[in-house]
Structure 1
Amino acid sequence: MSCLQLLLILVLCVHVSCCCGLDPRKDSVLTIRQRDSMLPMIPPTAAPKPFLPLLAPSPLAPFTNITVPKVSGQCLLNFSASESLMSTTAIDCWSVFAPLLANVICCPQLEATITILIGQSSKYTNVLALNGTAAKYCLSDIKQILVSQGANDTLAQICSVRSTDLTDASCPIIDVTEFEETVDTSKLVAACQKIDLVKECCAQTCQNAILEAATRIASKASDLLSTDGGRVLPDHISRVNDCKNIVLRWLASKFNPSHAKELLRGLSNCKINKVCPLVFPNMKHVALGCGDEIRNQTACCTAMDSYVSHLQKQSFITNLQALDCAASLGMKLRKSNITKDVYSLCHISLKDFSLQVGSQASGCLLPSLPSDAIFESSGVSFLCDLNDNIPAPWPTSSQGAASTCSKGVKIPALPAAASAESGYYNNVLMLSLFIAFAMALLIFL
């Protein structure tokens, strides 16, 4: 048994002894998350069910300032001016839970933090990128600072962040003055100054303005106007994508870090909710159990439950991602000659695609809008839906992967507030969630 496993067992013992003394009337996480006005879509067949907080283990030492970071002294980014931003990132990427929250919370927040740090520094350096040497020092310093506050020490690997991501890559313009002479900056700011987090993903008002600006500065490269058979060269597409990062940094320099973070996280969630992050293993045993027009319903559902259980061990996903995952799996099953709706037959719901928690093994779906983990005296918490049982929709023969902008199933973008009577139940649930997670992590590690 490793030292980390022993540490987790010790944390479990400490948490169990402390949790029994919690005041069941205190629901601070639920109170601050009452944002009913941000519920654009509600399930048509039932009232919104409560979303409950999920607590990670309390740290054995204070979460902030755990150690003194060993910074290089060679990075000119102003970390002190973004202290709150760095703290939020450390909590979002908290040690053991970072891989489970990577896709939805941790990595989008880390990417936003890097963009804002470079964007804010451009107000003094007049450049929107770092050179290769400075990028290596700065990425190392960012990691050291975050780890010193409790973040996972393999963040760069978890989020696939490289020092080159802090440079200009292939974008030809990084000078702020030249950027502002090339781009219609007033149009860009007007489109992105205040985005509707619900509507932006489909309307793409800000995203189109960013693409237009990126395309404009990318065209400064002399070879970009060449095409091959009427198709844009791959190098051009890559250069435009690199220039999008430059545009985002410029935008981050025009807003305060809090506003910039809201913008960047909102835009990243548009990409997050478009694809299913799960890896689908081989489904031969499902095809065998559910083939032949499903002669044996028990055998079919046993095979489906076994298959879905593998998906449930991967990561937390949002409710919209779950819809995409259900559509993707459904199409794969159809290609395996399973034509009957096995979702309905086997009672598969959207939450069955996310990580399972609690003694009742309930799926935990994160909200489709950006959210952060919260550090409290009782530990690190984040919100997920443990109660909505929205059936997974079976795709039709002509249907492809689910489109975020044309969902046939209505699901809320943010949690609904839980009732006051559920306070004691919440604390019991939080304890069982913690025990389940601690045990799962011991197996995982």
Structure 2
Amino acid sequence: MRQIEPQKLNLKISLLFLLIHCFNDSHCTSLQNSLTFDQKVDNLLPMISPTGNPQPLYPLIAPSPLSPFIITHSTAPKLSGLCTLDFNTTDSMITITAIDCFTVFAPYLANVVCCPQFEATLTILIGQSSQKTKRLSLNSTHASHCLSDFDQILTGQGADNSLQHICSIGPSNLTEASCQVKFVDQFEKTVNTSKILANCGKIDVVNECCQETCLNAISEAAEDLASVSSDVSTRVIEDCKSIVLRWLASKLEPLQAKEVLRGLASCNLNKACPLVLPNVRPVAQGCGDEISNRTTCCRAMGSYVSHLQKQSFLTNLQAMNCAASLGKKLQKENISNDVYDLCHITLQDFSLQANGMQESGCLLPSLPSDATFDRSRVSFLCDLNDHIPATWPSVSHPAPSSCNKTVKIPALPAATSGQKGRYNNDFMFLLVYTITFILGTIP
């Protein structure tokens, strides 16, 4: 993939996101024609969107010009008055969630940033409210009202208005589901609460996913809760884990609880590839016969990867898993040659591209991160440090894992591999969603 100068990349990033939210339709039209993603698709490959529906792949219709200002000048939400939760206990969490799930960014940050924060805030909200209600769940009626109110509050602060759909969260996620324990006093009589607090009161965000100190304590407590019922199935244990997390959130300060919950969520996020991998037959056709024509093969590979680049932002480790998954699919189609090396495919090529020219993919940090709001813009960090080559799966390069020290993982940011280090600030960019009238000054 062609290199691009950092200064030009920064400008193109800014222009692209200005384009998403421009103020004058005439400016939008001309800029869209020159800078937006190419939405053409090959007949052999399906159009992919974050939700899996055949919708446009990038938001070209600008939302309300006032949306960014809502974060600091909130509109008054129309609440039901029937929710038993105290939203005031999680003011800071709600603000962070609104920024993480900000309008057009939400579907593309859903997997890594928005939805983990959305779910964590709900967990903290129920947990904090349990200090008064003495309940670790809501009944179905209250759950519907509370989730609706929560959406209203977030939307009033600039968040996307379809978060329940984007994050696949409904009222049932606020109930006890199949777990039989929902009252605080019953919970504290059933599990070893001291062990939970000792192992989860503060976690080592870098090493928790490998050591699973807190994760094991939560699983053990969930099994204890599940044993109360006659059905100790995997589903019941999973539902009881939600109860454990709410109780834990009730014992910690909201920001501390957020760090724990987001850290635990990242362990699951970085274990797999979140992308939908279309049929690889077009690549197999182009790269068959021991790759008799490199140009044809790489053209087919580039066309395939371009579909992946329209789905979502990924973390470094997610991109590694995606490279491994795609490589295995290609190997099943009898492609034995390393087409990643042949066609210069990097980890960045699997993530949403930072500009319409598809020259630099944005890889988010694999440790929990949030978007930020600074007066006139919503920003998030994008690691453009290296064009790390995608690793072709083999016996010597099995499925990637930051915990397997015998596997040589490419030079990811040091924090990913459990070591302390610094990012190179010269090549760490902010993807900026700016609200100014700069478009009026563009010649």
Shorter chain as denominator, the TM-score bin is: 0.7 to 0.9
Report 1:345-364 matches (<5 A).
Answer: 345-358=342-355, 359=357, 361-364=359-362
Confirm whether residue 200 of structure 1 aligns to residue 213 of structure 2: no
Q: How far off its partner does 1:10 sit?
A: 1.9
Aligned partners of 1:150 and 1:282: how far apart in 2? 37
**Cα contact 2:222–2:240 (8 A) shared by 1:** yes
Q: What is residue 164 of structure 2 aligned with on the other side?
A: 156
**Cα contact 1:293–1:340 (8 A) shared by 2:** yes
Aligned partners of 1:388 and 1:101: how far apart in 2? 21
**Secondary structure at the residue paired with 1:384?**
strand
**Cα contact 2:340–2:390 (8 A) shared by 1:** yes
Q: How far off its partner does 1:128 sit?
A: 0.4
Aligned partners of 2:250 and 2:94: how far apart in 1? 17
Which of 75, 82, 88 is 1:80 aligned to?
Answer: 88
**Which has the higher mean CA deviation after the structures are superposed, 395-404 or 83-92?**
395-404
Q: What is residue 241 of structure 1 aligned with on the other side?
A: 238
Q: What is residue 145 of structure 2 aligned with on the other side?
A: 137
Which letter maps to 2:401? S
Report 1:219-230 matches (<5 A).
Answer: 219-224=227-232
Report 1:19-418 matches (<5 A).
Answer: 60=66, 62-64=69-71, 65-224=73-232, 236-358=233-355, 359=357, 361-396=359-394, 401-406=399-404, 408-409=408-409, 410-412=411-413, 413=415, 416-418=422-424
**Secondary structure at the residue paired with 1:253?**
helix
**Cα contact 2:93–2:121 (8 A) shared by 1:** yes
**Which has the higher mean CA deviation after the structures are superposed, 260-269 or 380-389?**
380-389
Aligned partners of 2:374 and 2:148: how far apart in 1? 28
The number of equivalent residue pairs is 375
Q: How far off its partner does 1:416 sit?
A: 3.9
Deviation track 1:194-215 (CA, whole Å, cap 9, x = no partner) reads 2111110011010000000000
Deviation track 1:330-359 (CA, whole Å, cap 9, x = no partner) reads 000000100011101111111110001135
Which letter maps to 1:268? A
**Cα contact 2:348–2:361 (8 A) shared by 1:** yes
Which letter maps to 2:255? S
**Cα contact 1:316–1:366 (8 A) shared by 2:** yes
Aligned partners of 1:367 and 1:58: how far apart in 2? 30
- Identity across aligned pairs (percent)? 58
Q: If the length of structure 2 is used for normalisation, what is the TM-score? A: 0.79
Confirm whether residue 10 of structure 1 aligns to residue 17 of structure 2: no
Q: What is residue 23 of structure 1 aligned with on the other side?
A: none
**Which has the higher mean CA deviation after the structures are superposed, 188-197 or 61-70?**
61-70
Deviation track 1:420-440 (CA, whole Å, cap 9, x = no partner) reads 7x89xx69x969x99xxx9xx
Uncovered stretches (5+) of structure 1, i.e. residues with no partner: 16-55, 225-235, 439-445
* 392 and 417 in structure 1: CA distance in 2 versus 1, 3 angstrom threshold: closer
**Secondary structure at the residue paired with 2:169?**
coil
Aligned partners of 1:12 and 1:258: how far apart in 2? 41
Q: What is residue 43 of structure 1 aligned with on the other side?
A: none
Which letter maps to 1:199? N
Deviation track 1:222-241 (CA, whole Å, cap 9, x = no partner) reads 243xxxxxxxxxxx110000
Aligned partners of 1:130 and 1:162: how far apart in 2? 12
Aligned partners of 1:57 and 1:74: how far apart in 2? 30
**Cα contact 1:58–1:379 (8 A) shared by 2:** no
Which letter maps to 2:229? A
**Cα contact 2:391–2:397 (8 A) shared by 1:** no
Deviation track 1:272-300 (CA, whole Å, cap 9, x = no partner) reads 00110100111111101111111111111
Uncovered stretches (5+) of structure 2, i.e. residues with no partner: 1-17, 29-61
**Secondary structure at the residue paired with 2:403?**
helix
**Cα contact 1:89–1:146 (8 A) shared by 2:** yes
Q: How far off its partner does 1:58 sit?
A: 11
Q: If the length of structure 1 is used for normalisation, what is the TM-score? A: 0.79
Which letter maps to 2:125? L
Q: How far off its partner does 1:7 sit?
A: 8.4
Q: How far off its partner does 1:387 sit?
A: 3.3
**Secondary structure at the residue paired with 1:355?**
coil
Which letter maps to 2:94? M
* 344 and 12 in structure 1: CA distance in 2 versus 1, 3 angstrom threshold: farther
Deviation track 1:8-55 (CA, whole Å, cap 9, x = no partner) reads 44269899xxxxxxxxxxxxxxxxxxxxxxxxxxxxxxxxxxxxxxxx
Which letter maps to 2:66? L
Which letter maps to 1:378? S
**Secondary structure at the residue paired with 1:314?**
coil
Which letter maps to 2:387? N
Higher relative contact order (CA 8 A, sep 6+): 1
* 6 and 309 in structure 1: CA distance in 2 versus 1, 3 angstrom threshold: closer
* 85 and 194 in structure 1: CA distance in 2 versus 1, 3 angstrom threshold: same
Query: What value does the CA root-mean-square deviation take over the aligned residues?
Result: 2.8
Q: How far off its partner does 1:57 sit?
A: 10
Which letter maps to 1:96? V
Which letter maps to 2:412? I
